[in-house]
Structure 1
C-alpha cells in the first residue's frame, strides 16, 4: 500500500492547503490562536484524510495488515524502555548541542532555549494537547514510517529508507539528533514487527510523557534539564554521564532491532515472489 503513495503528491497537497489557509485567515483576520487551531486541523486531519483516503479508495484490495493489535501487548515493556532511553538521549543530546554552539552562536542558543508558552485559549489548548499526544504521533508514523520509509526503501535500500526518512523526521523537530535516532528506532520497530501500531504507541507514550512533564513539573527533572545558558556548564557532569549511558543503551537497542532484519526481509521478498509466480 505505502509503496504506491507518492511523496510529491503529499508535499503538493500540503503546500496548496497552507496557501489556501493563509489566504483565508488573512482575508477574515483570524487571531494567532485561531490560526493555530485551523493549522492543526488542516495539517493533522484534512490533509491526511484527503491523501490517505484517496489511496485507500484507489487500492481497496491492498494489504491492510500493516496495523494490528495482535502481538502489541508483548512489546509494551520493550517500548516503554525504549521511550525512557529516548527521552534521556534527547535531553542529553540537546545539552550537547547547546554546549557546542554556546561559544560561537549564543543568540541561537538563546532562541533554542526560549520556552514556547502553551496556548491560553481553552479550545486551542485542548486541540494542541490532542495533536501532540494522539493525532501527531499517528499521522507522523503514517507519513514517515509509512510513506517515506517505503518510498525511499524502494528507491534505495532498507537502510537508505531508514536513514533518509529519519533525517527528514529529525529536521522537522527542535531536537534534531534525538528525533533522528527516535526515527531510526521507530523504523526498525515497524520493519521488525510489520505492525505500524507499535511505533505509533511508542510515539504516543513519548509525547504524552513530554506533555505531562510540562504540566506536572517535578524537582527531579531539574537535574536532567537545561533551562538557561548558565546551566549549560554547571550541569556538564550530570548531562555528560546521561549522554554516555543513554547513547550506549540506544546503540544496543538499534543493534538488537536490526539484527538479522535485512536477511529476514530478503527471505520474505523471495517467498512473496515465488508465491506470485
Structure 2
C-alpha cells in the first residue's frame, strides 16, 4: 500500500510544472487586465457612469496585440522559471558542453524536417475530424483566434509564435514534465501523459486535440535525440510553417482521389521522418 501511495504521489508531482505554468498565466493575465482597466478609466472617467459600456470597451481593448503581449510576457516568465527548474534538476553537471554536431547530425535534421511537414498535414486532418464530430468546436476555436489577434500576423505575434512559445512550452512539457514522468512510468506512457497536459493547457477542443499530437511528436524528438534543444527546434519549425505558409499550400481541392493521394504522401513523409530521425540519433549515439 505504501508503494501505491508513493506511486500516486510521484504521478501527482508530475502535474506541478503544468499547475505552475497555469498559475503564472493566470497571474500575468489578471495583473495585465487590472492595469488596463485603471488606464482605461484614467483616460475615460465618464465610463464609470455606464458599466456595460465600460466592460465592452475594456474587452475590446484587451483583444488583438494586447492579448498577444500578455501571452508573450507570461511565456518569457514561464521560460525563465521552468528553465531554471530544468537546469537545476536535469541539466548535465560537470559535463563539457556539446558541440552542435554532437546534438544533431544531417540525417536527424532531415528527419526533423520530414516529421514537421508530415505533422503539418496530419494536423489538418485532425482539425477536419474534430469539425466532423462537432462543427461548433471549430467555430468556437476560429472565433477565439480572431478575437485574440492570432489571425493577423504582426511582429510581436511572429516573435511569440516562432521563438518565445516553443522555448517556453518545451521547457514546461518536454523539459520538466516529461523528465519527471519518465521516472515513474514507461516512456510511452510518460509521453502520452505530458502530451495530454499540453493539449489541456490550450483550453479549447480543436487546438487541444492537435496540440496533443504535436506534444507526442515533440516528446519523441526530445527523448530519441536526448536533447531539449531538438524538440525546441522541431516546435519552432512547426510554428514557422503554421505562421507563414499559406493554409492552402498544396491544397488538393475537392478531388477525393487527390485528397487520398495527399493523405498517403503525408503518411509516407511522416514515416520517412521517423526512420531518418531514429537512425540518425542511433548514429550520433554510436559516434559519441
Q: Above 0.5 in TM-score?
A: yes
Distance (whole Å) between structure 2 residues aligned to residue 255 and residue 148 of structure 1:
26
Q: Runs of 5+ in structure 1 lacking a partner?
A: 225-233, 262-277
What pairs up with 1:248-263 in 2 under 5 angstroms? 250=270
1:83 and 1:202 in contact (8 A); partners too:
yes
Q: Which residue of the other structure, out of 96, 104, 112, is the alignment partner of 1:79? A: 112
Q: Which residue of the other structure, out of 133, 152, 169, is the alignment partner of 2:198? A: 169
Distance (whole Å) between structure 1 residues aligned to residue 32 and residue 98 of structure 2:
32
Q: Aligned with 1:223: secondary structure?
A: coil
Is residue 127 of structure 2 the alignment partner of residue 94 of structure 1? Answer: yes
Q: How many residues align?
A: 240
2:118 and 2:269 in contact (8 A); partners too:
yes
Q: Which moved more, 1:62-71 or 1:9-18?
A: 62-71
Post-superposition CA distance 1:60-118 (Å, at most 9, x none)? 984788986333242211111111111121122222322x32xxx44444444569459
Q: Which residue of the other structure, out of 16, 24, 35, is the alignment partner of 1:24? A: 35
Distance (whole Å) between structure 2 residues aligned to residue 59 and residue 83 of structure 1:
26
1:48 aligns with 79
Q: Which residue of the other structure, out of 214, 225, 229, is the alignment partner of 1:193? A: 225
2:184 aligns with 155
What pairs up with 1:83-232 in 2 under 5 angstroms? 83-98=116-131, 100-101=132-133, 105-112=134-141, 116-117=145-146, 119=149, 125-171=154-200, 172=202, 174-214=206-246, 220-223=249-252
Q: Do the aligned partners of residues 67 and 242 (structure 1) sit closer, same or farther apart at CA in structure 2, a change above 3 Å counting?
A: farther
2:67 and 2:149 in contact (8 A); partners too:
no
Alpha-carbon shift at residue 153 of structure 1 (Å)? 2.2
TM-score normalized by the length of structure 1: 0.68
1:271 aligns with none
1:167 and 1:180 in contact (8 A); partners too:
yes
Distance (whole Å) between structure 2 residues aligned to residue 80 and residue 53 of structure 1:
29
Post-superposition CA distance 1:170-227 (Å, at most 9, x none)? 342734444323222221221112111111111111111122224xx76x54436xxx
Distance (whole Å) between structure 1 residues aligned to residue 207 and residue 14 of structure 2:
31
